[in-house]
Each structure stands twice: as structure tokens, then as C-alpha cells.
Structure 1
Amino acid sequence: MLLKEQQVGQLALARGLISLGDLMFCVAQSAAAGLPLQEVLIAKKKLSSEVLATLEHDLDAGISVEEELQFGNTIVVDQVEAARHDPTVVPTREVILADDITLLLDGEARYDFKEELGRGGMGLVVRAHDKVLRRDVALKSLLDKANSDKFKNRLLLEAQVTGILEHPNVTPVYDLRADDEGRPFYTMRVVRERDLGTIIKGMKAKEESLSLSFLVQVLRQVSLTIEYAHRQGVVHRDLKPDNILVGAYGEVYVIDWGIAKLMHAGHGFEDTEQIVVGSLIGTPKYMAPEQARGENDKVDERTDVYSLGAILYEILTLEALFTADHMLGLLFMIVHDTPEPPRMKAPERGIPEALEEICLKALAKDPANRYQSAQELADELELFLEGVKDREKRREAALETLSLAEQTRAVYDDVRVQHRQILTELETKRKTVPSWSTGHDKQELWNLEQQADDLAIEMERRFADTVRIYSDVLAFLPEMPEARLGLANLYWQRFEAAESAGKYAEAAYLEGLVRQFNDGELDPLLEGSGTLTFDTSAGEATVELYRYHKENRRLVEWLHATLHAPFERAVLEHGSYVALVKKAGFRSVRVPIAMGRVDRIKVDVRLFAEDHFPQDFVQIPAGYFSRGNDEIMVEEFAIMKTPVTVGQYLEFLNDIEPEAAEKHTPRIEEGESYFPRDEHGRYHLPAQDAEGDAWDPRWPILIVNYFDALAFAKWRGQMDGFEYRLPTAMEWEKAARGVDGRIYPWGDHFDATFCNMKDSSNQRPVPKPVGTTTTDVSPYGVLDLAGNIVEWTSTPESSGSDRMTLKGAAYNSASIICRLDVDLASLPQYRYAHYGFRLALTL
């Protein structure tokens, strides 16, 4: 046969225009009669002259048969059908961009589209953010060229088949809908894991090192998943390494059920596929002989068993079962050739004889000689993994590997400690290096930042190594308690970090991994209950205990219980609470409580008489509060509920000596006072200032410096009989945050309407009367913290610095300044339009 004739036959086979059996028959007839293959194909009515002309034209145009065949890609029956009616169709050649799709829900865009995740012969998968469910999903829809009823039915079937397979190793379908043009689409979980094909390629290139036992365990999980599908009447029909995903934590998923075959009706829908006997359906490299022959009516559960065997062969040898230069040769080998035994194919791999026997049985040409179910194959793999045949050897290997895992864990723990220390050192250093410093002055800071980055990478590598080696232990002895506890503890550390950082989706995922490996030791932590013991300095008192819940992007208080102090060891679920303590004749006090898992918290709160401190002050009990990775101790004090107002400051100016008042009146540098004087020399508010604003006496005082604030504190102290002062930066921050580490007074999510900042209104930013933005309130009841006015504190920017720390944000601040952990600094003599203050009092 001439090369051109061979290429025409291969291209026709690849495009689904002829079955393998028909092509082989025509090749034999061509050789026997000495006629060109094209003439035999036309004479036997297998291909028309028009189709052959198209194939020859495409070959002359430079189409590479080898490239087009892509033996590792799926051939779908829809492509076969399309090719039979349109000889110019080339499967999976045209693509579209994710930006070309807009899906609507009730007239409004439900999904924000992100990057493309993958594409195939008929569909495109993109990452999308579901604005209703508030999570990222993988959204699969049709390509423009596949917008036909046949492809729509195929996508619907794919979604429905995946949907009925409710199994941990099958990616769940979230939603199935149609867009405004009637094209179906469905959403599913975003899968971030790597496919087994990539892992095997990495191992072959010596870029990866995974134990054989680990990979066998992966295939066992796949086999159990396929058995579950078979019991639901679904044959996958396209099993291959690329369709098996393996996660960093050992998770396994079987994906791409797009050409699955339904073995019986019983799910409320029918398979829309019109099977053409003789057409190819599947991926050639992993096809069973009956698939390669196009005997689609004979495809059943044992077809998937063969594909599992082909995958096992590749795991064992790191080579494909069969390789050929062209499709025809590959299919012929699948149908007729006996596989080379794995131990002969790759003697350097040290393949166990038991696994070779399992592999070759799964690869039997006759389905009757294979394992009759995926469960049988899984059971054989389990026997290998469990060690029925070589249990003692496995235990020895497991113990040796466990020792290595514990050594690796110790290294990981050391790196974690180093990383935490560097972060602490880095945080301290950043406070001492001004942003305008030169590169020379920042060199030490940059070095620390680089060390932190390097240690973070090293920590992740050590974590992955530790997980992998513990998993290797479980591959030898799946129930080994030391390894299971080791993994559970590793994941618990990550879970705690994610939960503390507010990464609740990641925390939920890691909690699942903890539960997977926990055998009871971590039950108290997972249950997450602690105890609260409570007493007061005044004896009996009523304690209204409120728990914080998320509602409309804020933490809001719901009454949890009414208790009577003193009480001991009240059981509370982990979470954030605030206790409102009441007793007749005493000031009520709010006590925030961050109940950690298995915490044992004791509170002994001091109650003060009604007149012990002014009514416009709020008591802040002594104790620690969370600031990043640090726990900061703050002694008991009181702080003004709202900033000092314009009206209060005006009273101060008019009560002190005129020379002093002139010194402390609000003004910018050496400019005129914002407060004009009347004929009696008394200050009053401007009807309209230079910016055209009429000052409201209820506004927070602004355009004052540090010395102005100290003078006001001294004056009011003389008036009230208290030693007022400015709060320290940490006192201010505790009063604003409470003790649960929240970023804003109301929680961890920012919205401009929750405080008074530059984006809170579509009008020009101006101050608001203090206390009127009721959402800008801390657990202690302190107001106007994330907006309205920036406030002076008594804390220097750093040791030896002549600049003072300011806290909070103002009416003209950007959102980043509204975070409570932000520190600002200024020279004490500076006055700006957003500088104000509030007073504190030591109790």
C-alpha cells in the first residue's frame, strides 16, 4: 500500500468516517486485487468520492495525520456523527473565549467569569463566581460551533449523569440551567488538583517522586468509584490518567463523564446518544478491544475494567500499554497484540509480581477473562495494599517510613517556628523604616522580607513532603494509627490557621481532612466546645450572653443565654461572644469573649458604681486582645464613647484664658482660626468656613494637634475632677476591636456605609454628628472608630521618635485606612482637617 493510501485510510478512521473492521476489510481487498485503496472504498460503498477528495485535499494542504489523531484525546460519538454528514469537520479544532459567554439568571448576570479552566470537542469550562451562592464554581457550556440539539442533549446528559453519581470521588454538580439563548450549561465544584497523567509524566522525567503504593491506592479509589457508577447503570467509557485528579492532600476524583454509556433506563432520563456500530468512542490509547473494533453494543462494565488495567500498566511501567505511529496500527495492536508484561517492560522499576498479575488479568482481550467488575479489581488491589500476601514486609516498610515521616515533620515544625519568628521580626522592622527611606536604609527590611518569602516556600515544601510520606505509610498499612494521627494533626494545624484568618471555605475543606484521619483523639477539638467561669467584684449579677453571628456582612449579636454570676464551667461552642453584665447601682459593662476550641476561660470583672467615672465613658476590662499573631495585654481603663465634639471644644476655648485659647483654636498652620470671635471676644462656630461648610457642634472636633488635645484633657479634668489623658494606641485598638481579632468594629468585611469615610456618600465627604453611624460600633459599645475622624493617641510612633501615633479613619479616608490595625503617625504640632481625639481614663 502506498503511503498516500495509508494516510487517507488513517485520516478517515480518525474522523470517524469508517470503522476499523471496514477499513481492514478494504485494505485486504486492495492488496488481493492490486487496486488502489480509494477505488475499493468507493466500490464497497464505504466512502464516497466526494469524501475521499476532501481527505486527499486536506492531506495535500499539510494536515498532519499524527497530530490530528492525538491518540491520547477522546473521540466522541457526536464528532463521529458530524463527520459522517460533513466530511470537512475536524474534531476539537475551533475554540471560543470565556469572554464570549454571558449567562443570565432572572434578567441579571449571576456569574462573574474568570479564567478558562479547559476545553474539549464540544464544551468550554471556565471559572466563574456565583454571586448568589458567593463562591467560585466551574461552569461548563457549549462552544459556538456545538450549538445544536445533539450537542445540547449531550451536555444535558453529561450533567445529569454526573449529577446522579453522588460519590465523594465524583465532582458534584451544583446547578443545571440554560442561558438566554437556550444553550444549556451546568456548574460544578472547581477542582484544583493535578491529573494522574501529569503526575506520571513528571515521574518519568524524574521531576516527581511518588511511591508505587500511593499510586495503587489512587487506582483502588478510582476502581471503587467506577464500581459505584456501574451499580448506578453508568459505564464511563473514557477512563484515562488525564481524567483522574489527585489532590495535594491525597484526594481522588474521576471526571469527564461526557461520553458515559447508560446501561439501563431508570434515572428519569434517557441516553440521547444514537450509537453507530463501527464508530470509535473513547480514547484510543486506553480503549478496550471491543471499543477499538467499534462494537459499541458490546461495551459494558468490563470495558471500564480494561481501561483501569491500561492505567495500572502505565503506573507500573511509566509507559503506555501500546504505542504506534498511526491510529490504524494502534487499534490493530489493541485488538490483536499481547501486552508485554510490566516487569519485562520496565525491569528497573521493581514491579511486584502480584501487581503484574492483576494488571494482565484486567487487560484480557476477552471480557469474560477479565475481572468481571471494578469491585473485583479493587479487592485485588486492596489485598496487595493490605498486605495479605506480604503483611509483615509492609509493616516493616510502614514503620521505617513512619520514622522518616516523623523526622520530616520535625523539620517542618522547625521551619514553621522560624517563619513565625521572621514575621514577628519583620512586623517590628516595618514600623521603624519610613516609606520614604532610601534603598540602603531599607536593605535590612528587604532581606527580612526575602527570608520570610523563602521560608514560606520551604514550609509548604516540607508540609507536602510530610503529607506524602505519611500517605506512603498508609499505603503500606491503611489503618496505622500513628500515621493517621500524624496526618490529622497536620491538617488540624492548617485548619486552625485558616479558621483564625477567616478563610472559612478553606477551613471547611481542611476540617473534612481532619475528620477523615481522626480516630477519636481530636474529637474534643472538632466538637469545639469550651467552658466559661464568671464572677464579679460585686458578687451576684445578671449576665446576658450574646453570640456573634454573620448577618448582612456584619457580626451581629443574638441573645444566647441569660445567666446569673457567679457561675462555673458553662459550656459554650467555640465562637465570639459578648457578656453584658448588669447589677442595680452599678455601671453595666460589656465583656467580649473569644471562646476557642476546648478553652477554659475565667472572667472576673470589676463593677463600678454609677458615678465612678463619667457617663460618656465606656469601661474596657483588663485582658488580652488579638493583634495579628500577637496577644496584647491591656490594663483596665475607660474611654469616651465618641470623639470630643466641636461643641465641647468650643466650650473649652471660651473658658480658658484668651491667649491660651488663641493658641489652641483650630487653624491650618499660621492661618486664620476656623472659629471667629464676636464683639465680646468669645469664639463661635462659623456660619460658613473657607470651604463653604457650616460647622455642626455635634461634629467631632477637627484641625487640632496633639498639644491641643492634651490641653483639652487637662481643662476637662479640672472641671470634672478626673485625670483625663489620651488613650495609648493599644488601648484605642482594643476598645475598637474587642478580643476576637476582627479587622473592623463590626467584623471582617468592609462596606463604605458601615462607617463615615470618603465613599460613604455620593456627596462631598464631610464629618457627621458623632455616634450617628450606629454600625461603626465596637463590642464594647464605642462608636466612630473606622470613620468620621482620625484620633491622636499618647503613643510615639517608635522608640525615640518625635512623631505620635494616630488611630482610626476619617470622613475623607480611603477604605484601607478604615482597618483597625492601621497605625498612622504625625508630628505633634501638625493640624489637619481629619485630626481629632477622644479622652481616656485609668480605672
Structure 2
Amino acid sequence: MKLDQTRQVRSMALAAAKRGFIEQETLWDLACRIALGGASSAKELLAELLTPEQLAQITTEPLEDASLPAAGSTEQGASSTEGRAPTAPTSTSETPATQSAPNGRGANAARYDLGASLGTGGAGNVIKAHDREIGRAVALKMLKPGADAEAGLVERFLAEARITAQLEHPNIIPVYDLGRLVGDAPYYTMRIVKQRSLQDVLTSVELRRQWSLVRLVGVFVQVSRALAYAHRRGVIHRDIKPENVLLGDYGEVYLADWGNAKLLAGLPEHGRATDGADEPLQIHEANRSFDRKRNEVLPSGLSGTPGYIAPEQIRGDSGLIDHRADLFALGVILYEILTGEHPFDAPTVLAVILATQTREPKAPRSIVPNCPLMLEDLCLAMLAKDPSRRPASADIVVSEIDAFLDGAKERSRRREEARKLCGLAKAPLQRDRELTVERQWLEKEARRLLQDVKGHEPIERKRSGWEFEDRAAEVEREQARVNAEAIDLYTKALAYDPDLPEARAGLADLYWQRALRADEERRHAERIYYEALVSEFDVGSYAALLKADAAISFDTQPSGAAVLAYRYVEKDRILVASDERYLGRTPLRDARLSPGSYLFILKRTGYRDVRYPALLRRGDHHHADINLYTEEEIGESFIYVPGGKFIVGGDPEAIDSLRRDEVFVPDFAISRFPVTFREYCEFLNELETRDLGFALKRAPHDTRGSEGYVVQPASGGGWEPIPTVLEGETRKLFRADEGHLWNLPVFLIDWFDAVAYCRYRGEREGAEIRLPSELEWEKAARGADGRFYPWGDHFDPTFCLMRTSRPFIPQPEPVGTFIADVSPYGVRDMAGGMREWVADVHGDKTWTEALAEPEPSVDVERDASPWRVFRSGNWAGDDQRCRSASRSRFFALARNTNLSFRIVKALPRASRG
């Protein structure tokens, strides 16, 4: 195509575009065809796109030498400010078709006294004017000087005025008058509105603080009502944005700037008026865009402000562009109200347009966690890329907002979300139960693998057990994570619905389990804390339990025993039985007491007083069935431990503690103190009468032969402790000439020596005498409430004999020296002094099985002998070994200066669990 023909096509194409006869995309196609020389003449090329009438209009105008706009560009529109200063970004617009000028040009020019400028935008000015006829101030909008020379601009200006004038709605600025000034300049007048927009509120930190969400939503619903009205009248706004929402001083809200508005082909299916009140607008046909082939009224393509333009408008998908494009822009405003952010924010205009088409906006809750769910649902629906997924009409948007402001629907939606979160919490709770089983198994396997490993053995022998310990620790950490996840889900659920029973009950259950665990581990402050949380979230399941008393009933054999109750109270870190209360005589039924740890003392003439410690839990009914024994049956040096349940193990700070459990142990009597040198030398004296060799074998000694003996023949006959058994400061404190050596607990005794002594005592007293089992020893030390030490839960070196109890080098001391080292039953020296052999290896070897193992011969090395267990702390040990749940394994032939034993006596009427 020749140069003059090319210029002709360009000029005619630009004229057609300015009149709205062709779209911008079509203009780009024309540019490509011109460059490729795809046609022989301008008329031939444009005849395919225009009607004969349209072609005749553009061929009568003089040619312009103009460059075609780039593909996808938009022509700057004349966006009215309607009484306020314009703000960026500037709207884009398409040029409507030409329209005849009104009659009576300049007829009303003398009616107005023009004043100061109110604002400027696009091709128009807004001036404050005084209407002489009515006597009021108005905003008069007119074209800028020279703007009417631009083709189609006057027609578009008049169309804007007529469209706005016919939209009579409380939230649309009313138009009062339309005409021409002197010189044929068109104008129209409208109400003056203060120069504040929704954009001003959203972008000002100070103003945003003054506007609550409910107030902003109130503005939004009024804009939605205005838009619903316009849509029913067949008009789409095409430039919805915060700058075009004007705010008055008295709560007025106006949707302004209808300069880009277009007529729809038909009314929306939803929200259509049924009473004939909302008739379609009557606009001159020149203001419509027509498809030449189908002769249908269609909305134009790209129009509006980047960031608010719907994806289908950007794509130029004319088949999908309708009133729902306005709803998309309205959704952007709602997003800004809810979050303070733009959903498609980007550094450049092109990036904003691309993000609008491709990027899904973040959920408002991810930005503002307390965002109302109902508004989030509505907002995201309005921002759907597919118009069919948006609300069908602005009336539906109004209905949803009204429901939110009413509150009922939002409450329902929030409850739905809260229940969903409660459902999600079930998974971590189930996982926690599974992990508990797994952790317990791993801990058991670790103990099994390490129980026979000597401390001095290489790491290779310990590694397998360590691996199980490490896995158990990781499982415990995972439990902490899943518990935290469940608590987080329940807490979020309550944020949506503070009264949801499922969430409150779930948290109450979780915190109750934590309170129980804290109680088990004697962490009283934590127990109180979690019980307070249980009370806060409880929906009735725990209310009675948290306030409930405990009950206890007593039966005794024989009956008639008086029952005194003492509650344990901590004084100077020792639990002391206080506040005596007489409950009655046995049989005693349902005595009510506050939950806690108690000591009950039962008294009946002719029988030993019984000390019966018990842990009374909330709501529990404890039943005690107690045998009474005479002094002769129990024995002077023994303490009666009545049968019943007690808490064993479960001390995380103890060495090799047993797994926590509540077990029944029948009646038994245990010696008040460990066996002393006095008692043991009587045993040696008895042996010597039979065979001196037997006496020497059982005499306390180490491996150094005769030099290692700590006893010797006495001058008057029999055996006695050697004077040098104590040295240094301890020897000064406990002088041998005062008889203190006889009261030292015997030491350098192996397990078989202790068994031989039990046999001797049994024969002498005509009773079953043996070493205590692990459970008997621990019950005698701890009582029933799971305390960590015989005296309570706190430690101090002055409470028992251990390595820091004295300011000098520690050594053995006479039994009973430390008066605080006493158990709830009255058994002494079970935390310090001497480690003590016990009869069995709990869960592995019973007393009977241990007795069945033959004693090794004298030439057998100690580490070749079978395993046994000893309990208690000792004068050379630390406070960890003083804990009642601590236990150690060693070889049965082991002898040590801090290793002794005490004995148990079986009782004739021992109860059975």
C-alpha cells in the first residue's frame, strides 16, 4: 500500500475509534494489516468493519496524520470529579458515539454566577456556582477550554450528564440542570459534595483509626445499593474505585463519576424491579455501541482504573462483560476495607493488570486474623476470575452485607468455621494417643536393653539402648507439638465462636489431662494453673469435679477403732500432718473431706496404733479395709504398713524410676531402721557357736582379707565393730566410748549375707523374715501420695545423711540421727545413710526366684554374680539418689561401706488386693 493510502487508512481508523465504531483490539489488527499491505484501499479495509452510515461519517472529515495506538492501550477518559479534586490513578475510557447537541444553546448561561474551582479531572472542570433562580450553591461541571474540539468528547459529556440525571437514588449525586453556556460550552449542575472520598479514609492512618469496620461496611453497603439500582436501570458504572465514593459530613455516601458508564443490553436477571419503578434509561441511540452484524447493544471493552478492571474486561471478552464487572471492582474495595491492602498490588500498571488476570488474592484472614468470615467469603466470591462465580447481582451483595450487619448470619458462619476447626483438632489428639503408646514402649525397651549394661562398659554396648531413649525423647517432643496444634485449633475456634461447646470441651479435656499429669509429677503450681484453665473452659463436665469433696470409709478387723484425720500441710519444706479431726469409729461410712493428702491414725485398745496415709482425689470414694495387729504380732523394732494402694515410680528426676502406677501392696511390717552393728554382731555370735568359718564368711569385710574386716572379737567374747570404723570429725561427734558404733548401720554386706541374716531372724522369732520387695520398700518410704522423698517434695541436705550434710568429710553415722528422714508410716533413714538391698528385681525376678539362685562359691568374682537391686541414698551419695523412686542394680556379691539392708516381717492376716 502506498504512503498516501496508508495515511488515509490511519486517519479513517482513528476517526472510527474516536467515535466508538471499532474497539482498540480491532485498531491493532488494522495496524498489522496496514504494515503487511493486506488491502488495496482504505474504504475496502474499513468496509469490513463499519456500516455504510458509519463509513460515510468518517470519509467526510479531513484526513489526519496520526499514529495508531499500541495494542491494549486505553484512551484517557474524562472522569468527572463532581465537586472534589481528582486523585490518581486516572480512569481510562472509551469514546461513545456522537450525539446531537441540545437545543437552546446558552439559554441558561445567565442563570449562574460562577465562582471558585472545586476540582479538575480529565477534560472537565467543576466550578462552584450560584443558581439565581433557586438561590442555592451548585457544582457546575463543564468541559475544559478547547476540549470540545476533540471528536466525540461533547457527546460523551452530555451522555454522562443524562445518565447521571436519570439515576435518581439517595447514593448518587443528583443532577439539577443541563445546558450550554455562552459560546456553546456544555455544562450540567449537581449537588456540591465535600471533597473527601473513601480513598482518603483508606489511605490515611489517622482517619482509618476513626472509622471502624462496621462504619466502613456501612459505606460499602450504600455504594452497593446505588450500584444495584443502576444495574436495574440497565447501566454499568465501569469505574468503581474508592476515589469515586464520596463522603459527606452527615453520613451521606455517593457513588460518583459516571463518565465511563454504559448501557447494558438488558437488565440483570437478579434484582430486577417487579413494580415498574426501575425502567431502563432512555438515552439517545448515538450513545450506544452496536455490533454491525447482530445489531445488539453491547458494553464496550476496556474501561476503568487498573487494579479495579475485571479480568474479562482486560481480556476483551465481550461475551462475558456485563454488570458483574462492576461487582469485581466492588470486591476490590471490600478487600481494601477488610485488609488495608490492595489484592493485586504491584509496582507498575502493567504488573497490576497482569496480577488481576493471574494472581489469586490472599485470604483476608491471613492479613487480618479477626476478619469477619462472612465478609471474607463475599469478598473472595466477588473477586472470582470467572464472572459466573461472582454474586449474580449487586442486590445479593446488599443482602449479604445486611445479614452481616444484622449479625445472625455472621454468627452462623463463624460457628461453622469454629466447628470445622474442632474437627481438625481430632487428628492431633488421636496422634497424641498413638504417640503415648509408642513412647511408653520405647522407654520400656530402653530400660530392658540397658539394665544389664555395666557403667564402665564401652559405648557400643549402650548405643542400642540410647537409640531407644533418643527415639522416646523425639516422640515426646512430637507429642508436645501435636498437643500445641490441638490447643491452637481449639483456641482459633473460640476466636470465631467464644461459646462453642465443642471447642470449650476440647480445651477443658486437654487442660484436665495436663492437670492430672502435673499432679502425678507433684508439680502443684502447674496443677493449679491447669485446673484454673479447666474451670475457664469447662462446659459442665468438670464443674462438679473441681468443687467436689472426697469421701472415705473405714472397716477394721476388729471394728471399733477411733479414726483421726490429719491433712498434710507443708511447713519449712516438710509435709506435716496437721489439723486433727475426729471422724468416728469403725465401721465408718462416707466421711467427707476436702481433696488432698491425709494421714489417718486408727486407735483401739490392745492394738498398735495404725498410721494410714491416703491420697483423696476430687469426687473419689476411698475405701480402707485395715487389719489391726497387737504389739507382739508386729514386733517392737518393726513398723506396720497396712495394705492398700500407693503410687509407685513416675519420678522423672529419680535414677531408673519404675513406670508410674497405682498398685496394691498387702500388709507387712518393716524394720524401723536398717540393721545395726549391734544386731548383726548378735547374728555373728550365733554363727560362731556353730562354726567360726561361717561367722568369718558372713562378717562384714571387703576383698582385702582379714585386714578388710570392720568387726573383731570382743575382749569379753563375741563380736564388736572395730574402733576405727569412724575417723576424723565424725569420730569426734560419735565417740566409740559412748556406744555410738553399735548403732551404726552395718555395712560391707553382700546380698547373700543379708539373706542369711533374715533366715537367722526368722528362726529366732518364729516368723517369716525377709528382705523387702521393691514395692514394699518404696511404699514404706513414700506413703500413698507419690511424694518424692519420705518427708515431702523438697530436698535439703539437713533432712538426711548424704555427702553435703556435714561441713566435714562424710562418713556413716548412727541410725536415727536425722529426725526429718522419716516416712508417713514412721520408718526412718530411707532417704540417706545407707543404700539397702531389696529382695527382688521388680518386673524381672521375684523374691522366690532370687532365693532359688545358689550363692556363688568364694572363688567367683563379684561381677560374675547375678543382678540385684538396692534402694535409698547414702552418706556418700547426691540428692538424686535420695529420691524414694531411685533404684540401682549391682552384683549380688557387691560389698561397700555405704551398702546395708533392712528386713520385713510377714503379718498373719495380710490383706489381698
Normalising by structure 2, we get a TM-score of 0.51
The separation in 2 between residues aligned to 1:652 and 1:758, in whole angstroms, is: 30
In structure 2, do the counterparts of structure 1 residues 664 and 416 end up closer, same or farther at CA, with 3 Å as the change threshold? closer
The separation in 1 between residues aligned to 2:521 and 2:204, in whole angstroms, is: 48
Match for residue 403 of structure 1 among 408, 423, 434: 423
Match for residue 667 of structure 2 among 628, 636, 641: 636
- CA positional deviation for 1:304: 9.0
* RMSD of Structure 2 on Structure 1 (CA): 3.7
SS class of match (1:671) = helix
Match for residue 687 of structure 2 among 650, 656, 663: 656
- CA positional deviation for 1:762: 0.6
Letter in 2 for 1:815: D
- 2:553–2:624 contact (8 Å) kept in structure 1: yes
Match for residue 806 of structure 1 among 857, 870, 875: 870
Match for residue 469 of structure 1 among 475, 489, 508: 489
What are the Cα deviations for residues 10-39 of structure 1, in whole angstroms up to 9, with x where unaligned? xxxxxxxxxxxxxxxxxxxxxxxxxxxxxx
Letter in 2 for 1:774: I
- CA positional deviation for 1:357: 13
- CA positional deviation for 1:560: 4.1
Aligned twin of 2:618: 597
SS class of match (1:676) = strand
SS class of match (2:625) = strand
SS class of match (2:424) = helix
Correspondences of 1:626-775 after superposition (within 5 Å): 626=647, 627-628=649-650, 629-657=660-688, 658-669=692-703, 670-672=705-707, 673-678=709-714, 682-689=718-725, 691=727, 693=731, 694=736, 696-775=741-820
Aligned twin of 1:623: 644
Normalising by structure 1, we get a TM-score of 0.55
The separation in 2 between residues aligned to 1:356 and 1:624, in whole angstroms, is: 54
The separation in 2 between residues aligned to 1:580 and 1:355, in whole angstroms, is: 62
Aligned twin of 1:507: 527
Letter in 2 for 1:555: L
The separation in 1 between residues aligned to 2:835 and 2:431, in whole angstroms, is: 46
- 1:387–1:394 contact (8 Å) kept in structure 2: no
Aligned twin of 1:25: none
SS class of match (1:469) = helix
- 1:536–1:605 contact (8 Å) kept in structure 2: yes
Aligned twin of 1:491: 511
In structure 2, do the counterparts of structure 1 residues 289 and 536 end up closer, same or farther at CA, with 3 Å as the change threshold? same
In structure 2, do the counterparts of structure 1 residues 384 and 591 end up closer, same or farther at CA, with 3 Å as the change threshold? farther
The separation in 2 between residues aligned to 1:828 and 1:438, in whole angstroms, is: 22
SS class of match (1:684) = strand
- CA positional deviation for 1:580: 1.2
Aligned twin of 1:351: 364
**Would you say 1:832 and 2:845 are equivalent positions?**
no
**Would you say 1:393 and 2:413 are equivalent positions?**
yes
SS class of match (1:506) = helix
- CA positional deviation for 1:583: 0.6
Match for residue 543 of structure 2 among 523, 538, 543: 523
In structure 2, do the counterparts of structure 1 residues 484 and 796 end up closer, same or farther at CA, with 3 Å as the change threshold? closer
**Would you say 1:565 and 2:586 are equivalent positions?**
yes
- 1:385–1:475 contact (8 Å) kept in structure 2: no
Correspondences of 1:76-115 after superposition (within 5 Å): none
- 1:288–1:306 contact (8 Å) kept in structure 2: no
SS class of match (1:597) = coil
What are the Cα deviations for residues 399-420 of structure 1, in whole angstroms up to 9, with x where unaligned? 3333223344333333334334
Aligned twin of 2:281: none
**Would you say 1:582 and 2:616 are equivalent positions?**
no
SS class of match (1:696) = helix
Aligned twin of 2:480: 460
Identity %: 34
- 2:453–2:462 contact (8 Å) kept in structure 1: yes
What are the Cα deviations for residues 141-165 of structure 1, in whole angstroms up to 9, with x where unaligned? xxxxxxxxxxxxxxxxxxxxxxxxx
- CA positional deviation for 1:616: 0.9
- 1:771–1:783 contact (8 Å) kept in structure 2: yes
Correspondences of 1:133-144 after superposition (within 5 Å): none
- 1:733–1:821 contact (8 Å) kept in structure 2: yes
- 1:287–1:307 contact (8 Å) kept in structure 2: no
- CA positional deviation for 1:523: 1.0
Long gaps (5+) in structure 1: 1-284, 291-301, 311-337, 360-380
Aligned twin of 2:905: 841
The separation in 1 between residues aligned to 2:375 and 2:823, in whole angstroms, is: 65
SS class of match (1:415) = helix
In structure 2, do the counterparts of structure 1 residues 513 and 502 end up closer, same or farther at CA, with 3 Å as the change threshold? same
What are the Cα deviations for residues 787-809 of structure 1, in whole angstroms up to 9, with x where unaligned? 11111112248559702211112
SS class of match (1:727) = coil
- 1:386–1:476 contact (8 Å) kept in structure 2: no
In structure 2, do the counterparts of structure 1 residues 304 and 414 end up closer, same or farther at CA, with 3 Å as the change threshold? farther
In structure 2, do the counterparts of structure 1 residues 523 and 421 end up closer, same or farther at CA, with 3 Å as the change threshold? farther
Match for residue 467 of structure 2 among 439, 447, 451: 447
- 1:546–1:561 contact (8 Å) kept in structure 2: yes
In structure 2, do the counterparts of structure 1 residues 622 and 834 end up closer, same or farther at CA, with 3 Å as the change threshold? same
What are the Cα deviations for residues 327-374 of structure 1, in whole angstroms up to 9, with x where unaligned? xxxxxxxxxxx9964566136134389869999xxxxxxxxxxxxxxx
- CA positional deviation for 1:716: 2.4
The separation in 2 between residues aligned to 1:751 and 1:757, in whole angstroms, is: 10
The separation in 2 between residues aligned to 1:391 and 1:711, in whole angstroms, is: 78
In structure 2, do the counterparts of structure 1 residues 521 and 820 end up closer, same or farther at CA, with 3 Å as the change threshold? same
In structure 2, do the counterparts of structure 1 residues 790 and 602 end up closer, same or farther at CA, with 3 Å as the change threshold? same
**Would you say 1:610 and 2:655 are equivalent positions?**
no
- CA positional deviation for 1:631: 2.4
What are the Cα deviations for residues 492-524 of structure 1, in whole angstroms up to 9, with x where unaligned? 111221222222333333222212211322112
Letter in 1 for 2:592: V
In structure 2, do the counterparts of structure 1 residues 804 and 385 end up closer, same or farther at CA, with 3 Å as the change threshold? farther
- 2:512–2:530 contact (8 Å) kept in structure 1: yes
- CA positional deviation for 1:767: 2.4
Correspondences of 1:190-589 after superposition (within 5 Å): 289=206, 341-342=337-338, 345-346=342-343, 348-351=361-364, 387-563=407-583, 564-589=585-610
Long gaps (5+) in structure 2: 1-201, 217-333, 345-360, 377-400, 651-659, 851-864, 908-913
- CA positional deviation for 1:691: 4.8
Letter in 2 for 1:811: W
SS class of match (2:839) = strand
- 2:700–2:749 contact (8 Å) kept in structure 1: yes
Letter in 1 for 2:461: D
- 2:373–2:414 contact (8 Å) kept in structure 1: no
What are the Cα deviations for residues 429-488 of structure 1, in whole angstroms up to 9, with x where unaligned? 443444344444334322322221221122122112212222333233221112211111
- CA positional deviation for 1:489: 1.0
Letter in 2 for 1:634: V
Correspondences of 1:111-130 after superposition (within 5 Å): none
SS class of match (1:775) = coil
**Would you say 1:794 and 2:858 are equivalent positions?**
no
- CA positional deviation for 1:690: 8.2
Letter in 1 for 2:712: P
SS class of match (2:593) = strand
The separation in 2 between residues aligned to 1:689 and 1:768, in whole angstroms, is: 10
